Structures are given as C-alpha cells and as structure tokens.
Amino acid sequence: MVGRISESTLREIRDRADIVEVVSETVRLSRSGASFRGLCPFHREKTPSFFVHPAKQIFHCFGCGEGGSVFHFLMKARSLSFGEAVEDLAERYGVSIRYEKGPAPERPQEDLYRILQSASETYRELLRSSPAGVGAREFLRRRGITPEAEQEFFLGYGGGGKDLLGALAREGVDPARAEAAGLLVSREGGGYRERFRGRVIFPIADARGRICGFGARAIDDAVPKYLNSPESQVYHKSSVLYGSTRRSRRSAGNGRSWWLRGTWT
C-alpha cells in the first residue's frame, strides 16, 4: 500500500508557498488593498472578479465561484492531480515530502527527466559556444533569432553525431535509458545513434516545467525537416502543447513558438 502524504508536509508547503507568485504565472495580478486581483483564468470575463488573498493563502473568483488553496489552483490551472500539485510546490519551495502509513510511491520514470534535462543542457551548450554549432547559429540568425532569444527559450543544437553520446557516457547514463527517453535510436548492428543530430532543438516541458521531450528542425536538406521525440513514459504528444505554460518557459524554454508562427518553413 502506497503511503499518504503527511499532514505536516502539506502544512509546511502551505507555509512556505507564495500563492501570489504561483498564481502570477498564469494570471496578471494587480494590488487591491491587502489582496490582489485579475481576470479569472477559469471563465471569460471583462471586469476582474478573481482575487488572491496572500494573508490567507487562498484565491476566490466572485464570478464563477472557483476558489481554494494554492494546491487547488495548480490542480485547476494545469490539470494536475493533487499529488502532482504537492510535488510541484514541494520541489519549488524546497520541502521534502514525507509519507504516512506506507512507502513513498515509486517513480520509475524520474531518471528520464534527469536525462532529458542533462541532454537539454548539452544541446544548449553546443549551440551557444561550440565550433560544431556555427552552422546552427548562422541558420538562426538568417531567420532573425537573436542570441538573447536563444537563451530565453533554451534553444539547442544536436551536434555533429556523437556529442550527446559522449556527454551521457561521462555522466554514467545507461544508453538504454537514454533510448527510452527518446534521445537515442538503436542500430541494427548494435550501438546507438543520436536522434536529433544536426538539428536546431526546442525543449518541450510538461505542466510542472519538467523537460519531457524535444522538437527539432534540420538546418540543411535532411529528411524529415521536422522531428519530434517519440511517445515515451514521460512524453505524450496529445497532452503536451509547446508554449502552453508560463512556468515551463522559464525552466525549459517554452512560452511562445516562432516555429508555430511560420519562422521555420
């Protein structure tokens, strides 16, 4: 039987969390006395009726009646389960989750998130400063993408063939797990090749801001021109939209997509 998150953990998260900070990632808030107000994200309205009360650590909309704690807001705004909302806030505010009456739930996919984050950093460094990334940088400049935009959206480059393999090997990553994360493709004769080699790369984040996959665009005549991560334990195309959350933009480069606006044709 999986343990339940302890009440002391929930209290500690509530005490540490800044509900104004969390809500502001979704709603543009302005001060209204001791509270903050904005347009409700849960129904259409022209006059703000959505209020956040930092002293009470709650939100309430007088238009649709939605309200509750910071946990409830994340669940509603990002379609998270209660456990996922707790984990999101615990990670953000440095709280260790404790469980009652049983062990912590198993997270067999957690290593995939770490591998994907590491790959994103490798791709980013290859684009930013490596000799191999010169062609990719020139490709982006021709399309009006500045170095500042590269950094803001955590764009990367897949390298010339074995850059990621080398980085993963230095970190002791099992290639089979990197394949499970969608980064490598097994060869018929044995070994692996990099899925996104020679491409400009866009990290894709889930609702919790964790990198779960990548989109990539060839900088030459390679086919296919566009390539996405395959379905995996952590990446489900039907449930992840590039640029759909403000938090994910800060952590993995999401926010707005030039790709979707036609820059990459």
**pLDDT tens across the length of the chain (265 residues):** 456 888 899 999 999 999 999 999 999 999 999 999 999 999 999 999 999 999 999 999 999 999 999 999 999 998 888 888 998 999 899 998 888 876 656 566 778 999 999 999 999 999 998 998 999 999 999 999 998 888 888 999 998 778 999 999 999 999 999 999 999 999 888 889 999 999 999 999 887 778 999 999 999 888 899 999 999 988 888 766 555 444 444 444 333 343 433 445 5
Q: Coil, helix or strand for 153?
A: coil
Q: Which amino acid is at 166?
A: G
Greatest CA separation for the chain: 69
Token pair for 98: 């404790």
Alpha helices in 210-257 (DSSP H): 246-252
Q: Which residues contact 122 (CB under 8 A, 6 or more apart)?
A: 156, 159, 163, 164, 167
Q: What is the reported pLDDT for 245?
A: 45
Reported in sequence order, the residue ranges of 19-173 that DSSP labels E, i.e. its strands, are 30-32, 35-38, 50-53, 58-61, 67-68, 99-100, 156-157
Q: Residues 248, 250, 253, 255: what is their CA dihedral angle, to the nearest 10 degrees? A: 70
pTM (predicted TM-score): 0.65
CA distance 220 to 198: 8
On the CB side of 204, CA atoms within 13 Å amount to 22
Token pair for 16: 């540490």
Domains of the chain: 4-100 (3.90.580.10), 110-252 (3.90.980.10)
CA distance 26 to 62: 18
Token pair for 67: 């309200």
